[in-house]
Structure 1
Amino acid sequence: MKRPVPAAAVAAAGVLLAIQASGHAQASGGSAFGPTSNPILFVHGYNGDPGNWNTMADRFTTDGWPSSHLDRWSYDSRQSNATTAQQLAAEVDRLLGATGATKVDIVSHSMGGLSSRYYLKNLGGTAKVDAWVSLGGPNHGTDSANSCYDTSCTEMRIGSGFLAALNSGDESPGSPRYATWWSPCDTVINPDSSVSVSGAANTRTACLGHMALLTDATVYAQTRDMINR
């Protein structure tokens, strides 16, 4: 026969559960955006557009980032990545001026990682960028670029002069924090090892397609936590 549980113990347990539930609700519902959070410049890939970032930007909004700090930038993805890097430099300055921030975080997808890395390495970007993220970037080339012929596309080919120069010396120069995410099921970036950058935090994802890197909840959370330090 079970003994009755004392009323005091039941009450104490109820209070403990209430405190735990309250703490959980506060943690899950609180804003991740804080005084040290930077505006984010999103850089899409080849033939991409600002809409590629809608899911991720909406999640940042839910986590407290104001719309003024979420810049879904666009550019002509057929031009040289060096030309795009010059335009990106101007956009960084515009974003800093508009928000009053001293640094930005760059989150790039696919080919967007190349122009943003060029900016960091060659155009003084290391002084204005706190964190750089590459989601499925062809940082060391991809064989899928062999079938397209725009200037930017030929620069993505394995062994291109553009990539040789970009990857010469330090692949992650300066003080910014570098991170990449790559998927073993990404059929656009071949080989998979192309994404990883020396000196960066390189993370393997679940089995995700190339575009799914932009919408996966786990990749988002990891990206948010990486840049928001």
Structure 2
Amino acid sequence: MQRHKRRIATALSAAAASLPLSLSLSAAPAQAAAHDPIVFVHGLSSDSSSWNDWIADFEADGYTSSQLDAWSYDWGQSNVTTAQQLATEVRNVLARTGASKVDIVSHSMGALGSRYFLKNLGGTSYVDDFVSVAGVNHGTSVASWCAWLYTSCKEMQTGSSFLTSLNSGDETPGGVSYASYWSDCDEAVVPNSSALLSGATNVDAGCIAHTDMNNDHGVFEQVRAFVG
């Protein structure tokens, strides 16, 4: 009888010891599922690799690789075309992950195609949070150097018909949460205030170079808190 009791106690002890492990294993997918997938949109003269540092940071913070979608597009094309391609990319991410919405994190000119998608292509139904990092939201005088070469640059010029239309009315439409992180010494967004969006959470990230804004860890921490 005593031997039988000892066997039961041993079995119960083993089961109890395994319980925290089983709970932690089952909790991990639930925690991962709590994150909206993020679609990263690069800017002019760039590609998906510009997000490598932040993707590593997001993974270290609990995101899975399937929830982090950095894609490349032809940055010389019209931002309207980019917006159409982004719409397809978002649908693909939602289908692949089973999520109902994504977050969009954009850099520089990437903010323009992303915002066109939100405003004109029904994107607000599929996006939870939108982040503009050093976004050329109201144009930049620097675009004059490439406006004669690329449609995208022509659209980035201050006062262009593309920007006039994009910024008419509500700059932050729908139920999306908007944030814009900008640098007060950005050499590519001139004037620096062009990055601000009416109706968004506008954050002065300090004096950070344009090309460093989307791999700066301090900016990452603020963006992570916002989309979280």
- If the length of structure 1 is used for normalisation, what is the TM-score? 0.84
Aligned to 1:188: 188
Aligned to 1:217: 217
The alpha carbon displacement at 1:211 in A equals 1.2
Alignment of 1:1-229 (within 5 A): 34-148=32-146, 149=148, 150-228=150-228
Aligned-CA RMSD value: 1.3
Distance 1:117 1:50 in 2: 18
Q: Identify the structure with the greater helix proportion.
A: 2
What number of residue pairs does the alignment pair up? 198
Distance 2:194 2:97 in 1: 34
- Per-residue Cα deviation, 1:18-41 (whole angstroms, up to 9, x for no partner): xxxxxxxxxxxx99x554310000
Distance 1:46 1:98 in 2: 27
Distance 1:161 1:36 in 2: 40
The one-letter amino acid of 2:170's match is D
The alpha carbon displacement at 1:207 in A equals 1.1
- Per-residue Cα deviation, 1:27-71 (whole angstroms, up to 9, x for no partner): xxx99x554310000000011111100000000000010000100
Are the equivalent residues in 1 in contact too, given 2:32–2:64 (CA < 8 A)? no
Distance 1:35 1:106 in 2: 17
SS at match of 1:93: helix
The one-letter amino acid of 2:154's match is T
Distance 1:35 1:226 in 2: 17
Distance 2:205 2:120 in 1: 30
Unaligned runs of 5+ in 2: 1-27
The one-letter amino acid of 2:112's match is L
The one-letter amino acid of 1:184's match is D
The one-letter amino acid of 1:90's match is T
- Per-residue Cα deviation, 1:98-122 (whole angstroms, up to 9, x for no partner): 0000000000000000000000000
4+ long deviations beyond 6 Å: none
Distance 2:121 2:33 in 1: 27
Distance 2:32 2:128 in 1: 15
Distance 1:160 1:188 in 2: 17
The one-letter amino acid of 1:198's match is S
- If the length of structure 2 is used for normalisation, what is the TM-score? 0.85
Unaligned runs of 5+ in 1: 1-29
The one-letter amino acid of 2:52's match is N
- Per-residue Cα deviation, 1:57-98 (whole angstroms, up to 9, x for no partner): 000000010000100111000000001100000000000000
Distance 1:65 1:72 in 2: 14
- Per-residue Cα deviation, 1:105-156 (whole angstroms, up to 9, x for no partner): 0000000000000000000000000000000011000001011030000000
The alpha carbon displacement at 1:185 in A equals 1.5
- Per-residue Cα deviation, 1:172-223 (whole angstroms, up to 9, x for no partner): 0000100000101110000011000000000001210001111211100110
